[in-house]
Amino acid sequence: MRNESLRPESIPPALAGFVPAASRHADGTLADKYGRHVTYLRLSITDRCDFRCTYCMAEEMTFLPRAQVLTLEECLRIVTTFVALGVTKVRVTGGEPLVRHNAVWLMEQIAGLEGIKEVVVTTNGSQLDRFAPALLAAGVKRINISLDTLRAERFREITRIGDLAKVLRGIDAARGAGFQRIKLNTVMMRGRNDDEFIDLVQFAVDKGIDIAFIEEMPLGEIGHGRESSYFGSEEAIARLQTRFALLPSTETTGGPARYWRIPDTQTRVGFISPHSHNFCDTCNRVRVTAQGELYPCLGNNDAIGLLPLLRAHPGDDAPLRQAIMKTMGIKAKGHEFGEQMNAPQVVRFMSMTGG
C-alpha cells in the first residue's frame, strides 16, 4: 500500500473529476484544491459517552446500533490507509473513546504504524485513573482532557451526570503515569464558566500542564442560547492578562490553537477561535466518525461514507483509498460560523463528529 502512486494514470476515470490536481502531485500525500496538505486525522471510535455535556449532545441521546459503528479492525484499516497517504498524526476521540472496549489495543496498533509521528487522545478524563499507564505504554504521546469548571455543582450542571472528583483523579493519574504533555480543553460559555477562566489557568500552572480555551461552535440542535453564551478569544485573553503575563508563542501542536506562554511556568495557554480568528486557510485535518463518515470540514455537511466500502471490499483497500482521495475534492475552503450561532447550518451533534 505504501508504494502505490497518486499519479494521474493511477486514478480511476470515475474519480478523476473529484480528485483535484493539487492532490496528484506527489506520492504519499493528500492535498486539497487549495493546496492544503492533510497530515492530521481525527478518528471517533464511538458516539457513546458517560457524560451528557450540554454543548455536545442532547440530554436524551439515541446512540448508534453496534452494527452501524466501525469495528476497531475497520478503524485500523482506515488509519493505515491515511498513513500511507501521508498522515502523520492521529487523534482518537469519541464520544468518550475510553468507554470503547479494547480502545487501548487500537491505539497501540496505530502507534506502531510506519510513518506515524504522534498518537493523541481527547477524553473527558473519567476513565484516566484506570487507563493512563496503559495509554502511555501503548504509545500515546499526549492527552487532551475536557474540563470546563472546577466547581463540582457546576460540573454536574454542564455534564449533566459527570463527577468532577473522578476527572481530577484522572488528571493526576495522567501526570503520575509520566505523560510529558497534558492539555485541558475548556469551552468558553458566557454566564456559565467565564468567571473561572483565571482559576482554570492557575490550576493548569499548579499542575504543570497546558490549557486551551475554545470558542463554542454552532453544531447540533442544542438550545441553550449560544448567541448569548458566546465568549470570544480576545476578551478571554484580556481577562487573563489581568492576572497573568501572556507572551505570544509560535509553538504549535499541529492543530488550530494559537499559544501564549506564562513566564516562569511550564504552562502554555492556547486559544481555538473558529469564530473570531478563522483558521481554515491552514487546515490540515479531516475527521472520520464512529459511523465511518469522512468529513473533510467540521463546519460543513459534505461527507463520504467509508463503512460500506470497508465491508464490501474486506480484502481490498483500493476503493477506500480512492474514496479518501475523492474527498479532498470536496474539502471546503472554509466554514462560515459567523451568523450561525442559534441556527446552525450543521445540525449533527459534536459527539457524532468526534470532538
Q: Is position 224 within any domain?
A: yes
- Is the model's pLDDT at 133 over the cut of 50? yes
Q: What is the pLDDT of residue 343?
A: 45
- Please tell me the least confidently modeled range out of 99-108, 221-230, 250-259: 221-230
227: CATH: 3.20.20.70
- Is the model's pLDDT at 348 over the cut of 50? no
Q: Is position 337 within any domain?
A: yes
Rounded Cα distance, 204 and 281, in Å: 30
First to last CA, the chain: 29
28 or 52, higher pLDDT: 52
- Is the model's pLDDT at 124 over the cut of 80? yes
Partners of 260 in the beta sheet? 248, 269
Average pLDDT over residues 197-201: 98
- The answer, yes or no, to whether the previous bond of 95 is cis (omega within 30 of 0) is yes
- Count of the separate structural domains present in the chain: 1
Q: What is the pLDDT of residue 9?
A: 35
Q: Is position 1 within any domain?
A: no
- Is the model's pLDDT at 57 over the cut of 90? no
Q: Is position 3 within any domain?
A: no
348 or 318, higher pLDDT: 318
Q: Is position 247 within any domain?
A: yes
Q: Is position 62 within any domain?
A: yes
- Is the model's pLDDT at 13 over the cut of 50? no
Q: Is position 94 within any domain?
A: yes
CA nearest 81: which of 25, 4, 10?
4
Domain span including residue 69: 8-353
Q: Is position 208 within any domain?
A: yes
Rounded Cα distance, 290 and 288, in Å: 7
- Mean pLDDT rounded to a whole number for the chain: 85
Distance of CA 155 to the CA centre of its chain: 21
Rounded Cα distance, 185 and 143, in Å: 10
Using one digit for the tens of pLDDT, what is the confidence trace for 281-311? 788 999 999 999 999 987 777 899 999 999 9
Q: What is the pLDDT of residue 305?
A: 96
Using one digit for the tens of pLDDT, what is the confidence trace for 149-168? 999 999 999 998 899 999 99
Q: What is the pLDDT of residue 278?
A: 66
213's grid cell: 480555551
Specify whether the CB–CB gap between 159 and 185 falls below 8 A: no
If you average pLDDT over each of 144-158, 222-236, 246-260, which comes out highest? 144-158
Q: What is the pLDDT of residue 352?
A: 53
Q: Which band of pLDDT confidence, cut at 50, 70 and 90, is reported for residue 23?
A: very low
- Is the model's pLDDT at 345 over the cut of 70? no
